[in-house]
Amino acid sequence: MHRGMNILDDDPMWRDPARARFQPRHFARLAQAGFDTVRLNLHPFKHLGADGAPDAAWLATLDGLVKAGLGAGLTVIVDEHDDTLCARDADGCLKTLRAVWGTLAPRYRNAPDRLLFEILNEPHGVLTAAVWNTTLRNLIALIRATNPERNIVIGPADMNTVSALPSLDLPESDRHIIATVHYYTPVRFTLQGASWVPSAKDLSGVAWGSDTEVAAVVHDFDRVKAWSDARRRPVFLGEFGAYEKAPTDSRTRWIARVARVAEAHGLPWAYWQMDTDFAAYDFDRDAWIAPMLQALVPSN
């Protein structure tokens, strides 16, 4: 993995396949643009059958996406993205995650090693560090029963933040685990105008790019690299992005700087996200948003 993209989070395909914005052919567009990884943002909790496991229609759609992504030569991360529901009920979360991974793990046990499992996006709320560290070991054991060497992506509690990385307790003997962090710092810039962020929803016109601000990014990734080196554990920057209401020049400057700093520290990354309000791609025109693509993959 080097450069990746988050896809499908709010794509209407999950409600009505005929309205899908992302099409299987877009995997090839990603590869042609210089990306080698996709993180499939999935919400199976909304698609459970009577047995509590993902239903047949949802699984068939996922099968097609996994096949197409792997067929395009990409590394594909199956990302369980139901963190909002899990944040309210730890016991219910674990029960449903076990049903999800108890279905997905054996289903993909023979898939190429370019298919990775991410057991839960951004654990937070009632999934405190202590609760999450117990939960993740339970799910690792479940997956290892059918996928003993599958690479699993796991981030810390507190929404996969860099500052929470030291709280992540992974089984030392399992060397097929990749740690992950997400990066939206400073929030007053990256999420300005976002209605779901109380501290930033009323902000606008906040610029970014001073020497001090750039140095802060380097410092944050120095901390990630130090953690990675100390534990001999690779780290994946699974999300970073700037909301569409940020000033365009500062937005692309921040995206480019975070991507280059991550690369300089040996971290593969995946941008949040291809579509909607962080978009790098214009699905209405079926074309890349040029300044965004250039910030992410300078060769373009």
58 Cβ contact list (under 8 Å, min separation 6): 14, 44, 47
Summarize pLDDT for 228-270 with one digit per residue, the tens.
999 999 999 999 999 999 999 999 999 999 999 999 999 999 9
Residue 300 has pLDDT above 80, yes or no: no
pLDDT tens digits, one per residue of 202-220: 999 999 999 999 999 999 9
Number of helical H runs and strand E runs in the chain: 9, 10
CA of 154: how far to CAs of 165, 194, 283, in Å? 11, 26, 30
Which residue in the block uniquely carries the two structure tokens 């020049």? 249
The architecture (CATH level 2) of 3-296 comes to Alpha-Beta Barrel (3.20)
pLDDT digits (tens, 9 = 90+) for 72-117: 999 999 999 999 999 999 999 999 999 999 999 999 999 999 999 9
CA distance 293 to 300: 7
Tokens of 186: 């400073």
Half-sphere exposure of 227 (CA within 13 A, CB side): 25
Sequence ranges of the domains in the chain: 3-296
Output the six-digit token pair for 280. Answer: 């790098």
Q: Label residues 163-173 b or e (16+ Cβ within 10 Å = b).
A: ebbeebebeee
User: What is the percent of the chain with per-residue pLDDT over 70, rounded to a whole number?
Assistant: 100
pTM of this structure: 0.97
